[in-house]
Structure 1
Amino acid sequence: MDLLHYYISFAAIFLVVPIESANILAITFVPSVSHQEVYQPIWRELSLRGHNVTVMTTNVLADPSLVNLTQIDVSFVYKYMNVPLKSFRDATILQNIFFIDFFFSKLLQAEIAHEDVQKLLQRDDDEFDLVVLEALHPLVYGFAAKFKAPVVAISTLEPFIPFHDALGNPTHPVLRPDNFIHFYGEPTLKDRMTSFLHNIFYRAIYYWRLLPEADKVARKFFGRNIPYLGDVIGNTSLMLINSNPILNTPVANVPSVISFGNVHIKEAKPLPKDIQKFLDASSRGVVYFSLGSNVKSTSLGTEMRDIITQALSELPFNVIWKWEEDELPGKPDNVLLKKWLPQQDILRHPNVKVFVTQGGLQSIEQSIAFGVPMVGIPIYGDQPTNVKTLVDGGMALFIDFKSITKDELKKAILEVGTNIKYRERVVKARELIQDQPMNGLDKAVWWIEHVIRHKGARHLRSPAADMPIFQYFMVDVIAILLFGLYLSVKLTKLIIRWTVRGLTIGFEVFKKFLNNKLLASKQKAS
């Protein structure tokens, strides 16, 4: 028996595959369920692969089997999320830039000051092999400055212009407009000029004001001797962007920018009995109405609430509405209200005809995954661009949040819910998204481990990342060429002037000569 154990142990040495585990720190700071639904599968998979993952998160994964996952719960910042929708509807682009910067800075400062995060910052500077950061504000890079490890930036939406700049990734004003710029249909000359000027002025605002202010705050929390935040951001090894070729315009990315998507699609779970009964009994179809996890339907305001309520009451469909309070004044009989809903499992139900959505990327991905066409009511951020893409692809209709009417909303829902062409386009989009060599989760994890294996990704870095802005846009070349053209024009004008003057003088001299000859001839003849 002992001999048998010996042989089994000896054989096991050759059968066991060695796993090189790494210590990974992940910092996600935006209190948004939709954001965290994208990140959580990544932390889970890294943990299951044997890595020791420490994550600061606003949504803790309740899975005791993940023994390698340490979570720092900062969910208390959800209390800051009650932002009036009117502030987005009426704000200018400049106001939105400063508001988003102030809001994200406020969130991060509150989270960094949290007791458990302060304990994290007491750990050794070289404790982590990799830092993964939610790339939506420069202050978050203070963690990279503190722990001096290779950085992977990650985002559930298209990052702002400066984070592309850090990797030398092109941000064409028309092909890849910033999140603050939205084109409704084919961009007009005014749209293109607005986006072009925005690219210039936003960079000026960011590099001359927002980044220096974030650096000052970072020194308060991470130490006065940390490198300048701009330099830390510029050393980013890799950026992972949650995107796909259907919802995002195909654009050129440098090798260190990787797109992944659909990591948050979950396996089916049984619906609550009352929702299941409501769906099953809705033989004429169901409209699912939800403005996502960040926007509360209860914050719509009385006027807009009444418009939506009246439109829904006149539909031939039943409606499931994510409504965050116990009561809805004037609630129609065909509407079922719930404060929170298992969205993916509702969208799976065959009786769901239409998804009325704010146009968040995760909600759209889920709707496409389950073949449900949409009516989009975008409010802020990337939502208008997302819905515009859906409309261009024939998968949705667009409702302007600023000018919504009862009849417009009713008409849009009826059109999408009864015209089969919208569902057919969504199903085709699903086929294209799923036809990939590897799923989004495996792709994201593979690239994270790639950075760990090579202690960074300098080999993927574009030379554009290390160029000054004036060199990247060839301002010096253009200036020299323009100056040369200016000199050429001036010299040509000078030569022409001298030539004309010379010819004029020569003509006058010749004319005087002829006159003198003529005068001399007359005098001789007389």
Structure 2
Amino acid sequence: MTQITGFKPVVSSVAISLVVSSLNVAMAANILSFFPVHPESHRIVKSALMTELASRGHNVTIVSPYEENNALPNYEEIIIKEVLQLSEVFGKNVFKTGKDSGTSKDVALFIWKQGIAICELILRHPQIQQLIHSRDRHFDLIILEAYFGDCFIPFSKKFNAPVIKVSLFSGTPWMYDWIGNPTELSYVPDPYLDYTHKMTFSQRFWNVVTAYFYRIVRTYDHMPTMDSLVRKYYNFSEELPPLWEVELEVTSLSFFNTHFCISYPRPLLPNAINIGGMHLKPPKKLPQDIQTYLDEAKHGVVYFSMGSVLSSAYFPEPIKKAFLEAFSKLKENVLWKFEAESLPGKPENVKIGKWLPQSDILAHPNIKLFITHGGLLSIIEAIDRGVPVIGIPIFGDQKLNIVKTERAGLGIHMDFNNISEESVTWALREVLHNPKYKEQAQKLSKLFRDQPLTPMQQAVFWTEYIIRHKGAPHMRSAALDLTWYQYFLLDVRLLRVFQTKL
């Protein structure tokens, strides 16, 4: 290829750079975001998105339980550390609830109750009250975490700013409802059920029951409770309509942390954007002790982590013993995220650490297998790095995530309540010694990476699109303005029945 040289191309490139820079400055917006949930995985996604927006010149204010110590001058943090205490309680109790620990109904209702506690804790905080009563602050956009963001919706009214909601997983039916996006329950499984997109009659029945159960509970229990918190803590609440009406009015766009090669295909409106893998970054250098441990593992390494909320240190003793005995039989080494100083009975081929850089570890060529709870970020990282998995789901969408990975040939599913030395040994041998899992992991990695834009580029583009177009009302679905009987065409069908009888 001939290289173009000379004065004009240089001037042109400089001019283009100056124009782009001036546009970024002109577009700089004030963004207020609430990411109040305590799991580390939520912090990772929040930090990735908000840091990128700040690096593009936007002035971001983040309410969160985690302190990032971000050096950017336009990155303001309001830290509510008290929220972290709720995380510790949940992590200790989830393994002690017996065989019902993973029941979707109980866990979902528990999470909603926890969300109410988090909301009240944050709304009464002096810095948030100061923000509520402020007269000299202005924001052009509000970004809310989808699960626990309901009580912060009134900030949209205060600042006359549109709302973007961010779901840290593929989303529930009611999360799609607030933008008018259809959820076809005949082939779109509820994330709390371990169904695939090809359901039996019985599964389709329970899929409908589950979806409408949560919709009813949220509409008639959760949202009225949130509405009462709004009336209690916002000084302008008398001017507000019911919270659910405000939500439908101001929500301009929703991000969902999924991708069609991870999840199942489903219809999406223009303002429902998949950004699965937004948190992914190129691998960074590992701490020296971990780097050495991985490099020197002649037969490879099994990486074991139950995520940021579930602590394997709180495993019942029989479960710990089953893993330790199974690991002792391996020729491979094991790197285990274990949240205690010591692990009695630990074999020589096992190394533990309270905190481990998971994504960077999974990128190491000696990682042969990932034992995971099935959190979506963990599954995305495994797919991106091409590592097969053994999934041990505990609650929430983890069951569905692991069912998807098993059906995709990425790994196998283990029932936490039936773990034994024999079952762990069989699972390890199956995934480590059967090449089909590694081959499928590498195939899925290629599919996932084959995108025109990175997930982060997608997220940034659509965020700035909403800012540029003042909430982009042209993308709002007319379904939001229909009554339930109009939406389901019951009035038209009823007319048809009358016509038939005439």
Deviation for aligned residue 1:125: 8.3
Q: Which residue of 2 aligns with 1:291?
A: 306
* Deviation by residue 1:302-341 (Cα, 9 ceiling, x = unmatched): 2222222222222222111111011223222221111000
Superposed CA RMSD in Å reads: 2.3
Stretch moving more, 393-402 or 288-297: 393-402
d(CA) in 2 for partners of 1:71, 1:217: 23
Equivalent in the alignment of 1:123: 134
Q: Could you tell me which of 387, 398, 416 is aligned with 2:431?
A: 416
Report deviation, 1:160. 2.8
Contact 1:288 1:356 in 2 (8 A): yes
Counterpart of 1:35 in structure 2 is 42
Where 1:190 maps in the other structure, the secondary structure is helix
What's 2:243 paired with?
A: 229
Deviations 1:174-215 (A, max 9, x none): 422223222279533222111112223322222122211111
Q: Which residue of the other structure, out of 177, 187, 190, is the alignment partner of 1:178? A: 190
Alignment map for 1:180-329 (pairs within 5 Å): 180-183=192-195, 186-223=198-235, 224-225=237-238, 226-235=240-249, 236-329=251-344
| Alignment of 1:46 onto 2:60 | no
In structure 2, the CA distance between the partners of 1:132 and 1:278, relative to structure 1 (3 Å rule), is same
In 1: Cα distance, 2:399 partner to 2:271 partner: 27
**TM-score normalized by structure 2?**
0.89
Asked if 1:388 corresponds to 2:403, the answer is yes
Does structure 1 conserve the Cα–Cα contact (< 8 Å) formed by 2:336 and 2:352? yes
The one-letter amino acid paired with 2:133 is: Q
Match 2:168 to one of 156, 171, 177: 156
1:78 to 1:14, Cα distance in 2 relative to 1, 3 A = closer
Q: Structure 1 residues 185 and 165 mapped into 2: Cα distance closer, same or farther (>3 Å)?
A: closer
Q: Deviation of residue 108 (structure 1)?
A: 2.0
Amino acid of the structure 2 residue aligned with 1:68: N
| 1:294-443 alignment runs, 5 A limit | 294-443=309-458
Shift of 1:417: 1.4
Q: TM-score, normalised by structure 1?
A: 0.85
| Structure 2 contact 223–244 (Cα < 8 Å) conserved | yes
Deviation string for 1:113-172 (max 9, x for gaps)? 223222222323871111011111322323334433111111111233222111111112
> Which of 33, 38, 41 matches 1:26?
33
Percentage identity across paired residues of the two chains:
37
SS of 1:95's equivalent? helix
1:480 shift after superposition = 5.1
**Aligned partner letter, 1:77:** V
Alignment check: 8 A CA contact 1:88 1:380 kept: no
Q: Deviations over 1:474-501 (max 9, x none)?
A: 344445556777xx4xx9xxxxxxxxxx
- Are 2:125 and 1:114 aligned? yes
Q: How many aligned residue pairs are there?
A: 477
Match of 2:65 in 1: 58
2: CA distance, partners of 1:60 / 1:384: 31
Amino acid corresponding to residue 331 of structure 1 in structure 2: K
Find the counterpart in structure 1 of residue 82 from structure 2.
Answer: 76
Residues of 1 paired with 2:156 and 2:195: CA distance? 35
Q: Which runs of 5+ in 1 are unaligned?
A: 1-7, 492-526
Question: Quick one: which amino acid aligns to residue 205 of structure 1?
Answer: V
Q: 1:93 to 1:385 in 2, by over 3 A?
A: closer
CA contact (8 A) 1:255 1:462 kept: no
Within 2, Cα distance between the matches of 1:222 and 1:14? 44
Distance 1:385 1:24 in 2: 33
Q: What amino acid does structure 2 have at the position aligned with 1:288?
A: Y
Q: What SS class does the counterpart of residue 227 from structure 1 fall into? A: coil
Q: 2:189, 2:196 within 8 Å by CA — same for their partners in 1? A: no
* Aligned equivalents of 1:279, 1:93: Cα separation in 2: 37
Residues 299, 482 of structure 1: alpha-carbon distance in 2 compared, 3 angstrom cutoff: farther
Q: Which structure would you say has the larger Rg? A: 1
Q: CA offsets, 1:42-73, max 9 Å, x none? A: 11121111111111122333331x11111111
